[in-house]
Structure formats: structure tokens, C-alpha cells
């Protein structure tokens, strides 16, 4: 017997449904207490019923499973190639920022506007330095949130009823645009490239000043002291610049970008390399921070800010979604205390919206989480846990001479 006929022969016999006699008017039928108004089929119930109808309580046929697996893998590779470009080995290759070189760019320092997204660790850097330097009034900020297609979108109105001490997504207060792509498109000559955050905007000249996070935090630290309420704070003092650069050369590829290299790896070999480099660097940092309060001794620097924005997301997102599963940050006693130390610096906690961070990763990165199911927040990431005493004040104010940055 042909397979199609065999399948049909196993289908249950469904009795014909009762129909209203032709001589009964529609009005009488509707008013009859014994009749029921037909309901449209529920798509979810159809999806549930169809498999039971076709193959009963057993698993789907092997051919169907292999077909779906092949189709999904091909679709996943296609989406990942757009979300996270890779090199031939399958290792994630982060695209370079388009707008850089703040020092050589002509712009109006009196009319700057910052665009950010709260889930983004690179944008988070700029928010922290902006707050610490006292630039909140001088440099307004518009906060976008990820849309269903992954683009950055603005809210049409403010969101009432949320904690006023925590930054939340809102309107584009500089240009009134619906999304960040529209903002980029306002610059002279337009723009069709990647529309990323953070982005520093020249309101007067309608031009992108910079969309490279490190360039922006360097500008905020030392280039706008005439506008800052806290100009005396220097997060990159001359005597430590070399040491800060050394730490950045290790932390950026292995930790900041390292978690993305794990999560966006498109081959087992690429993942194995990335996860090994990530955790060997975290081991080294944990050892170093057992003797030094900050990366460069007793002075808070830009290197600390850059490390913090990855650490604060580690157990919340990267440990689970990006497969950084060898250890939780909570298992690193020195690193976790160091993270709490930075979190408790005035004005830093206000930049950490954990709900927005989790939403931005779990509900937006469809190739990594197709069901968009969001796990519960780890207890170690709750504000009460992060506010526990860190007891790091007693650490040496001088960086250990025995620690080598590799």
C-alpha cells in the first residue's frame, strides 16, 4: 500500500457535524438556546492536535526530525552570518566602528547628545563615565530598546510607574525619531551602514561625532572638563596610561569580546578556543584582584569601567545564553567583590537596569534563544546581593609588581 494511503488508513473516522436545516432562518438559529455559534479554530490547538493525529504519542518520524534539523541549521547559519560575522574558522569577528577619531572631528561641544541601549555593555561604559564626570545635564541621553528585528527603537511615550533612580528606555529627545536608523540617516549624505550604540550626536550640525565606545569615554573623561561638574576626576591619568592600555589589550579580546566569541562561535573549535581564553583570563584577574583594589592599584581607571560592564552581565546573561558555563562569576570571590565595589560607587547602580539587560538578550537574540524564554534572575545579581559589603578598602593601594599582564 502506498505510504499516503497507509497514513490515511490510520486516521480516525470523524463523524459529520450537525448542520442547521435549510428551512430554519439564521435569526432563529442564533436565538435557539440549543445551538452554538461556531468558533474559529485555535492555531495553537491545531499545532498540538496535528502531531497526535499523524503519529500518536510516539516521537516524530526520523526523516522529519533530520529534515527539520537540516533546515534549522541552515537557517541558523544564515541568521548568524548577519548577526555575528565570522572568519573561516567560525570565530566571531566584530565589525569595526564606522565613526571614530573624535580628536580630529570638528563638532560642537555645547550641543552633544548621547544615544545608548541599556542591554549593551559598550554603551554602558559611556553612561557610567558620563555620570562619574557629572555630565548628565551637559550631555542629554536618549535610550533605545531592541525591536523584534534587532534594531534599536525608541518608545513613543514615557513609561510610568518605574523606579526613577534607574535609567529606562524612552523617546528620542534630540530628533524625535522612531528608531536609531532614522537618526543615523539624518546626517549629511545619509547613512546605510550598521546603526549601533553608543553613538554621540552633534545636535547643531546633525552629524555623527563617534560610535566607538572607548573613544567616547576618553572624550568624556578629559575632553569636556569645562562642561563637567566633576572635572577633577581623571580615569586615565598620564602616569597610568601605559598600564591601562596593557590591561585593555588583554581584557578586550579575552573578556569583553571574549564572551561574544563564545556565544557567537559558529564551530566547536572556535568556541573551545574562546572559552579557554576567557576563563584563563578570569582566573588571572581574580588572582590579581586579591591583592589590588582596582586593576591599576588604588586608582579607578577606564580599564575598570570597561571590565565592570562585562562582569555585571556575566551571571545574568553570558553564563547561560553565551555558554560561558565553566564558572559563574559568583564563584570568583575576588572578582565578584570587585564588581560589587564598583557597583556601589555613587551613580553607577543607576546605570544598571537588569530587567532591560535580560530582555535585550533573551528576547532579542533569536538564533541563540528561539523560544524567547527568559530564565529567572540569579540571586547573586539582585540589588540586595550587590549591595553587600565588599571589604576591599584594606587592599594594597599599589598594584602588585609580581602580576604580569600577558
Taken in order 314, 320, 326, 328, the sign of the CA dihedral is: positive
**Is residue 261 classed as helix, strand or coil in its secondary structure?**
helix
Give phi and psi for 217, each to the nearest 5.
-70, -30
Q: Beta strand pairing status for 207-210 and 141-146?
A: unpaired
Looking up cell 514615557 gives 158
Q: What is the DSSP letter of 38?
A: -
Residue 120 a catalytic site member: yes
Residue 210 a catalytic site member: no
Tell me: cis bond preceding 322? Omega within 30 of 0 counts.
no
Annotated catalytic residue within 191, 214, 252, 260: 260
Distance separating alpha carbons of residues 80 and 365, to the nearest angstrom: 10
Contact 330, 382 (CB under 8 A): no
**Is residue 152 classed as helix, strand or coil in its secondary structure?**
strand
How buried is 213 (Cβ within 10 angstroms: 0-12 exposed, 13-18 middle, 19+ buried)? buried
Q: What is the C-alpha radius of gyration for the chain, rounded to an integer number of angstroms?
A: 27
Distance separating alpha carbons of residues 35 and 29, to the nearest angstrom: 7
User: What cell does 370 get?
Assistant: 528561539
Annotated catalytic residue within 120, 262, 296, 352: 120
Q: DSSP per residue over 204-230, as a string? A: TTTEEEE--HHHHHHIIIII-TTT-S-
* Tally of residues, the chain: 406
Q: Which residues are catalytic?
A: 120, 260
Amino acid at each position: 500500500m502506498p505510504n499516503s494511503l497507509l497514513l490515511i488508513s490510520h486516521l480516525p473516522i470523524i463523524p459529520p457535524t450537525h448542520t442547521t436545516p435549510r428551512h430554519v432562518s439564521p435569526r432563529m438559529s442564533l436565538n435557539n438556546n440549543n445551538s452554538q455559534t461556531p468558533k474559529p479554530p485555535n492555531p495553537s490547538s491545531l499545532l498540538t492536535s496535528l502531531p497526535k493525529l499523524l503519529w500518536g504519542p510516539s516521537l516524530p518520524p526520523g526523516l522529519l526530525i533530520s529534515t527539520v534539523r537540516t533546515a534549522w541549521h541552515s537557517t541558523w547559519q544564515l541568521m548568524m552570518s548577519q548577526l555575528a560575522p565570522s572568519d573561516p574558522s567560525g570565530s566571531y569577528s566584530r565589525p569595526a566602528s564606522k565613526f571614530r577619531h573624535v580628536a580630529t572631528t570638528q563638532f560642537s561641544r555645547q550641543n552633544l547628545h548621547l544615544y545608548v541601549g541599556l542591554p549593551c555593555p559598550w554603551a554602558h561604559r559611556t553612561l557610567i563615565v558620563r555620570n562619574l564626570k557629572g555630565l548628565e545635564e551637559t550631555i542629554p541621553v536618549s535610550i533605545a530598546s531592541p525591536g523584534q528585528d534587532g534594531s534599536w527603537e525608541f518608545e513613543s511615550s514615557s513609561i510610568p510607574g518605574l523606579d526613577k533612580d534607574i535609567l529606562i528606555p524612552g523617546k528620542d529627545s534630540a530628533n524625535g525619531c522612531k528608531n536609531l536608523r532614522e537618526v543615523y540617516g539624518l546626517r549629511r549624505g545619509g547613512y546605510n551602514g550598521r546603526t549601533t550604540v553608543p553613538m554621540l550626536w552633534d545636535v547643531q550640525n546633525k552629524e555623527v561625532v563617534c560610535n566607538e565606545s572607548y573613544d567616547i569615554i576618553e572624550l568624556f573623561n578629559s575632553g569636556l572638563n569645562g562642561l563637567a561638574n566633576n572635572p577633577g576626576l581623571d580615569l586615565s591619568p598620564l602616569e597610568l596610561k601605559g598600564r591601562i592600555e596593557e590591561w585593555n589589550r588583554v581584557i578586550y579580546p579575552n573578556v569583553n569580546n571574549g564572551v561574544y566569541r563564545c556565544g557567537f562561535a559558529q564551530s566547536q573549535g572556535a568556541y573551545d578556543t574562546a572559552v579557554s581564553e576567557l576563563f584563563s583570563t578570569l582566573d588571572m584577574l581574580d588572582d590579581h584582584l586579591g591583592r589590588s583594589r582596582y586593576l591599576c592599584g588604588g586608582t579607578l581607571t577606564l580599564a575598570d569601567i570597561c571590565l565592570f560592564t562585562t562582569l555585571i552581565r556575566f551571571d545574568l546573561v553570558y553564563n547561560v545564553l553565551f555558554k560561558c558555563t565553566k564558572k559563574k562569576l559568583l564563584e570568583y570571590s575576588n572578582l565578584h567583590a570587585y564588581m560589587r565595589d564598583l557597583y556601589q560607587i555613587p551613580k553607577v547602580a543607576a546605570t544598571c537596569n537588569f530587567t532591560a539587560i535580560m530582555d535585550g538578550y533573551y528576547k532579542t537574540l533569536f538564533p541563540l534563544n528561539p523560544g524567547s524564554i527568559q530564565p529567572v534572575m540569579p540571586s547573586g545579581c539582585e540589588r540586595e546581593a550587590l549591595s553587600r559589603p565588599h571589604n576591599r578598602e584594606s587592599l594594597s593601594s599599589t598594584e602588585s609588581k609580581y602580576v604580569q599582564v600577558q
